[in-house]
Amino acid sequence: GCSRRGLRGVDQALEEAIETLIAERPGGSICPSEAARRVDSDDWRSLKEPARMAARRLWYAGRVRILQRNRSIDPDAMRGPVRLAAPKSGPYDGRA
């Protein structure tokens, strides 16, 4: 669960990769597996579920939107493929 104190390095790296990838694609969306690939290009498949968990944490922090069929969904409704995008009025608006 989410009760553990600190995040493992890989979990933190996944969160950072998600936010970086979203920032690189203003107005676009990314697949969680893209973050997994960026963190570990050799063993990214083992990070697919951790990447989804990272997306869930970022959603609860208000830092991403989770999309399914182009609709924003609650992370508890995550079934099958999802996309991640910046929040509607997110940290990426109006940056230099």
State pLDDT tens for residues 39-68: 999 999 999 999 999 999 999 999 999 999
Q: Indicate the fold that domain 9-85 takes in CATH.
A: Arc Repressor Mutant, subunit A (1.10.10)
Domain positions in the chain are 9-85
Write down the pTM of the prediction. 0.83
| pLDDT score at 88 | 83
Contacts by 5-12 with C-beta closer than 8 Å and gap 24+?
Answer: 10/39, 10/40, 10/47, 10/50, 11/50, 11/53, 11/54
How far apart, in whole angstroms, are the C-alpha atoms of residue 1 and residue 93? 32
User: What DSSP state is assigned to residue 77?
Assistant: G
